[in-house]
Amino acid sequence: MRIVIVGAGIVGAALADQLAARRGGDVVLIDRSSPGWGTSRASFAWLNANQKQPRAYFDFSVEAMREWGDLAAEFGEPSWYQPVGNLAWARSAPACEELVERVDRLRAWGYGAEVITASRAQKLEPNVMIPSDAQIAFFPDEGYVCGRRAAQALVQRATSLGATLITDKEVSELVVSQHQVTGVRLADGQRIAAETVVCCAGWRSPELLAPLGIDLALTASTPGSGARGLTVTIGGITPRPDRVIHTPELDVRPNGEGQLLLEASDIDRRVDMAGENDPLDGCAQELLTRARILIPAAASATIVEASLCVRPLPLDGHPLVGPVAGQQGLYIAVSHSGITLAPALARHVAPELLGAESPVLRHYRPDRTSTRIPLRRADGGSF
């Protein structure tokens, strides 16, 4: 009755944790690298349901935010979970209008959201230059997670419950016998049999599934596809802001002692269009320049790390979760906004793998037609 999970990013790690609690010794988690070292490591990792639509997807995201709170309580309020709130502002007339409309909609849906004055925002974040003419909103229940450390903690708990972790081994193929996936083969030739294989390989999932004739509805990872992004960690900032901050020029959040993580949607687009070997130093430097304008204490900050990363971005933006018709023994769990969603995905997928179908996941089946759930990407970002 073995279940093999391919991929120990935040999605695979959360699932291993949930499954191990039910079937410890039957769970095998395999990663070509180590837990949390893929997209989850460099993700902006903002926990939110801020721009999630339609309502079912919003509700699922809110459930996931609650799950993170519950998980953190179980782990003794670890530093990888930071429900610090999110401050966002807009300047242009259409963006201001959109922000106010969004706050109204979110409030009507029972979500923590309020329009606040510049002086209130300045009290919340005294170390940030907040324009006095901006339209500002505060979302107190949002926050961020350190994806790599959260994945490591979840995997550690799964192994303590009996799950087996195999690191630095690539799954080179899914083994199929008469339309039934019966296990995986590792790059070194080793074969591991399984009753069910769960594909949690993030943006690399299509290459694993293609030999089975499965064309996963995931955006390509090639330049210009919209899947690639750049996050930059800068260090040496004291005092630094405490919250997630979204401005028209820059997205910022804390990233450990004296450090900030930076991203910007226009820079992501520039990075996305760059060739495979184009240097990205200029883009990283531009993020640092913007941070220096926004945060006075970043005047002498330096770049600690710049990460080019790939979003596992389904064509319609929504998770791809479930079995595949005509292919027994295979289950797929690949999602954008996977940091936010991972614990809720795991909470629903684990019982499903053991036979109890989840009504929530019916919206997200991998073989849904791309017209069933409309594509929504909000002004270049889609979190």
Q: Which residues bind ligand FAD (CB under 6 A)?
A: 6-12, 30-33, 37-40, 43-46, 147, 170-171, 200-202, 204, 208, 229, 231, 263, 309-312, 334-340, 383
Decide the pairing of beta strands 164-166 and 27-30: parallel
Taking CA atoms, 111 is separated from 7, 59, 95, 140, 198, in Å, by 32, 10, 20, 9, 33
Copy the structure tokens of residue 68.
Answer: 């993170």
Name the CA dihedral angle for 316, 340, 46, 230, rounded to a multiple of 10 degrees: -50
In angstroms, what is the minimal distance from the CB of 382 to ligand FAD? 9
Q: Which is nearer to ligand FAD, 31 or 286 (CB)?
A: 31
The nearest distance, CB 93 to ligand FAD, in angstroms, is 26
**Closer Cβ to ligand FAD, 138 or 203, answer by number:** 203
Smallest distance, Å, CB 213 to ligand FAD?
Answer: 17
Q: Does an H or E element contain 64, and which?
A: helix 55-74
CB of 16 to ligand FAD, least distance (A): 11
Residue type, 24: G
First to last CA, the chain: 36
Name which of 372, 362, 361, 373 is nearest 318 in CA terms: 373
Looking at beta carbons only, is 187 or 299 nearer to ligand FAD? 187
Instruction: Yes or no: say if 331 and 349 are a contact pair by the CB < 8 Å rule.
Output: yes
Can you tell me the distance from the alpha carbon of 170 to that of 318, in angstroms, rounded to the nearest whole number? 27
- How crowded is the C-beta side of 34, counted as CA atoms within 13 Å? 6
Shortest separation between residue 46's beta carbon and ligand FAD, angstroms? 3
- CB-wise, 34 or 127, nearer to ligand FAD? 34
The CB-of-7 to ligand FAD minimum distance in angstroms stands at 3
Q: Which is nearer to ligand FAD, 33 or 358 (CB)?
A: 33
In the bound state with ligand FAD, the residue whose beta carbon lies nearer, of 146 and 297, is 146
What is the secondary structure of 108-123 as a DSSP string?
Answer: HTT---EEE-HHHHHH
Token digits of residue 105: 């909609």
Give the residue nearest to ligand FAD (CB). Answer: 9
